[in-house]
């Protein structure tokens, strides 16, 4: 039965670096099992009566719908709390909000800007806290990404994943996740846009014993050479709008287009966490091609997150 033997040995899930290679593999297996059972028509309700509080200080379509749907499919429910719906928006200390919400719900998901805010919620909450996105990491996205690659390629170890573009929170999580899975992860960015130093160090540490290889380069064609997976994200993320013109110039040579994909393997997969800007970070001929798995990838957010929810919320945890 789900939850009897928890996969994670901590209360919260905030960063990919919290996982061991074995825990990552087990989470992906659980996600695959939950997905298969749902598609076969089974109604598993391991979270019957459980409530997830969802704090959104940063808007999202996929995060809200996937978490809310996941809770409903698992027998629980979810409460949406925007930045305007809580006292956080009026200056209440995070410690107070986290402790009070813990009296009402069985778990919390937070999507916010500063990673320190998610860490603070986890510190003071007595219920599990999941990082739905911060400026440092997007770990739920990385879980869905690896689930998608594994479903299609049949394995993760030894595959080359090339991330092209801004070394942002998505890149940070992919570096660590890929390293844990034994992949060859290459991130190609313009100078000055490299992934966070802490994330690079975490990925290098995670690669020890897994056979993984982690590289940061500035040549997108070098990164794409013989890649099994090509991945990109928007050049200007939410909150960076004032930098848009400069970023369009700085990233002009980093578009994933037909010229770049010609360097990858013939059966490469194209991935993007969405929303995408066709004509900027990716050409329409790529994202709308048979190589693109962006819709399946987005759909797997639901199943990867359900695995997290089941593992964290179906068994009592120590605060």
Q: Which residues are annotated as a binding site?
A: 60-63, 87, 111, 138-141, 169, 233, 237-238, 273-274, 301
Please give the annotated binding residues for carbamoyl phosphate, written as ranges. 60-63, 87, 111, 138-141, 273-274, 301
From CA 174, how far away is CA 15, in angstroms rounded? 11
The span from the CA of 284 to the CA of 317, in Å, is 46
- From the list 73, 119, 141, 255, the catalytic residue is 141
Return the residue matching tokens 């990233």.
251
Annotated binding site for L-ornithine: 169, 233, 237-238
Active site residue 301: yes
92-99 contacts, C-beta under 8 A, 24 or more apart: 94/120, 94/121, 94/124, 95/120, 95/123, 95/124, 97/121, 98/122, 98/123, 98/124, 98/125, 98/129, 99/124, 99/125, 99/126
Residue 141 appears among annotated catalytic residues:
yes
Q: 64, 111, 115, 247: which one is catalytic?
A: 111
Indicate if 138 belongs to the active site.
yes
Catalytic residue (choose from 12, 301, 303, 305): 301
Sheet with 269-272, strands from edge to edge, namely 213-217, 184-188, 160-164, 229-232, 269-272
Catalytic residue among 12, 228, 273, 311: 273
* Active-site entry in 138, 184, 247, 303: 138
Q: Where are the alpha helices (DSSP H) in the chain?
A: 21-39, 62-73, 94-102, 115-124, 139-153, 169-180, 197-206, 220-224, 244-250, 258-261, 284-287, 294-313
Question: Of the listed 233, 247, 272, 303, which one is catalytic?
Answer: 233
240 is catalytic: no
Q: Which residues are catalytic?
A: 111, 138, 141, 233, 273, 301
């Amino acid at each position: 039965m789900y939850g009897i033997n928890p996969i994670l040995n901590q209360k919260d899930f905030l960063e990919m670096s919290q996982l061991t290679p074995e825990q990552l593999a087990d989470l992906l297996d659980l996600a695959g099992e939950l997905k298969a059972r749902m598609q076969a028509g089974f109604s598993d309700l391991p979270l019957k009566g459980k409530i997830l509080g969802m704090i959104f200080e940063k808007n999202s379509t996929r995060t809200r719908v996937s978490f809310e749907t996941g809770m409903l499919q698992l027998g629980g429910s979810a409460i949406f709390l925007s930045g305007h719906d809580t006292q956080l928006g009026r200056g209440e200390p995070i410690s107070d909000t986290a402790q009070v919400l813990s009296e009402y719900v069985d778990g919390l998901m937070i999507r916010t800007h500063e990673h320190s805010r998610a860490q603070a919620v986890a510190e003071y909450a007595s219920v599990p806290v999941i990082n739905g996105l911060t400026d440092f990491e997007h770990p739920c996205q990385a879980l869905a990404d690896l689930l998608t690659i594994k479903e299609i390629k049949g394995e993760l170890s030894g595959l080359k994943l090339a991330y092209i573009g801004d070394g942002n929170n998505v890149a940070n999580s992919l570096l660590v996740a890929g390293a844990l899975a034994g992949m060859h992860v290459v991130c190609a960015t313009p100078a000055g846009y490299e992934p966070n130093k802490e994330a690079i160090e975490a990925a290098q540490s995670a690669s020890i014993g897994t056979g993984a290889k982690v590289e940061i380069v500035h040549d997108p064609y070098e990164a794409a050479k013989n890649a099994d997976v090509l991945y990109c994200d928007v050049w200007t993320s939410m909150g960076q709008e004032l930098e848009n013109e400069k970023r369009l110039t700085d990233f002009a040579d980093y578009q994933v287009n037909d010229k770049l994909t010609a360097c990858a393997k013939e059966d490469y997969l194209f991935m993007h966490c969405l929303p995408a800007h066709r004509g900027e970070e990716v050409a329409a001929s790529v994202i709308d091609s048979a190589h693109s798995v962006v819709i399946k990838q987005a759909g797997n957010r639901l199943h990867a997150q359900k695995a997290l929810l089941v593992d964290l919320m179906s068994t009592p945890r120590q605060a």
